[in-house]
Chain A
Amino acid sequence: MEKTKERKNWLEWVVTGISSVIVAFTIGILIYQMAVAEETPPDIVISLGKSEAKNDYYTIPVTVKNNGATTAQKLRIEFAMGEGADIEKSLLEFDYLPGNSSVKGWISFSENPQGKYIKPHILGYTSP
């Protein structure tokens, strides 16, 4: 082993050193996750941004966050704007929303959403 130590040059030692830190860090995080993280079911939180006027429609940015630890698959969220007979709907679909992550999307309406109430409705999701 003495022999091999002397054969490595400084560049190889730097690469080996950095690699060791990365691998040790990764394994450490994995063990930590195993020990600490619990498998909480998906917990979907939706927040709407400011509406923006386009040519002949209006868009609203939507941020969907999953506060649970488990992935939500085939997530579908419906948005209803207005009340009573004057309802306009929009739909968002996400293939996957991993735990503790967020995705961004845009919903669009033909009416101006300014001052109107938009109600999000999480239609459902499956576990992967």
Chain B
Amino acid sequence: MPHQYKSIDDALKEYGRGIAGGLLFSLPMLYTMELWWAGFLTSPLNFLIYLATGIFLLMVYNHYVGLSSDHGLFSCLLEAVEELGLGIVLSVSILYIIGRIAPEMSFSEIMGKVLVEAVTVAIGISVGKSQLGANKDSEEDNKKNKNTSTSEEQKGPERHNLIRSINLALCGSLVVAANIAPTEEVVYIALESAPFKILLIAISSLALGAAILYHINFKGTNRKAHEEYSFGEIAAGTAIMYALALITSAFMLWFFGRFEEISLYGIIAETVVLGFPATLGASAGKLLIQ
């Protein structure tokens, strides 16, 4: 199989899937007013951190899940950069079509609006490229994955699986949380709900996450179908997943300036409120984005 070129047709189809995936996850964001504002309210340092996080997540995703799963670090980086570049171009196009960027705006305003959207678009592109693929491709992928996973399983499947799951959970929750974090509603829910309701949200998140991770897993996926989980395993898996969802929530809320001049309780309440949809993203992401 070495040294064969991918055909132009296949490459175009792959980009098409990527663009479809990118739009699927990010059109809600592109149509949200708070995100246009966030574009010019966010500082360059925050953008740099956000971009770096995005590129890192894309790299890990490409390495463990994407089509280039057998490739080296550098080609993962190239792939991540390519997806981010496509994300930027796609964001510019959509924002221009819906009239949110115009020539009389300052360069930094336009760039801000585009960057706020571009990371989610890029993750969508990456997911679309590798997940929305045709059957033929995925069968080949499965074969390839089986081959690699058997060889890798001897090395250390535990670590491999853990990093992969963590990254999937992070990507899934980031895509969902990024859509919701900039809206005012998170702040309203967090600050107007009684503390016990915030606690209820946290408990619901945990229950929902555990159900999705361990109940649907029984039916949906192949590998662990026969395995029985002990209570300890379920508790640990759910806790890790919820922690990741909370981390993503906190990161996105911080990025959109929702933590400025607010009490510690407010910060935690906002994180828990956003943690609910993020949990859905984290746990469902693991199942959908395999």
Contact = CB atoms under 8 A, between A and B. Distances in A.
A120 interface: no
A85 interface: no
Interface in A23-77: 23, 26-27, 29-31, 33-34, 37, 71
Interface in B14-61: 15, 37, 40-41, 43-45, 47-48, 51
B222 interface: no
Contacts of B72: 1, 4
A18 interface: yes
A60 B285 CA distance: 54
Interface residues of A, number: 34
A12 B11 contact: yes
Contacts, number: 107
A20 B41 CA distance: 26
Contact of A15 (B47, B74, B82, B88): B82
Contact of B15 (A15, A22, A102): A15
A79 interface: no
| Chain B residues touching A, majority SS | helix
A117 to B, nearest CB: 28
Contact of A30 (B41, B44, B83, B85): B44
A9 B2 CA distance: 14
A9 B5 contact: yes
Contact of A98 (B12, B43, B105): B105
A99 interface: yes
Given A23-B81, A30-B44, A15 B86 contact: yes
A9 B6 contact: yes
A84 B5 CA distance: 81
Interface of A: 1, 3-4, 6-9, 11-12, 15-16, 18-23, 26-27, 29-31, 33-34, 37, 71, 96, 98-102, 104, 128
15 contacts: A4-B72, A6-B3, A7-B6, A9-B8, A11-B8, A15-B82, A20-B81, A22-B89, A23-B85, A30-B51, A31-B44, A34-B44, A34-B45, A98-B105, A98-B106
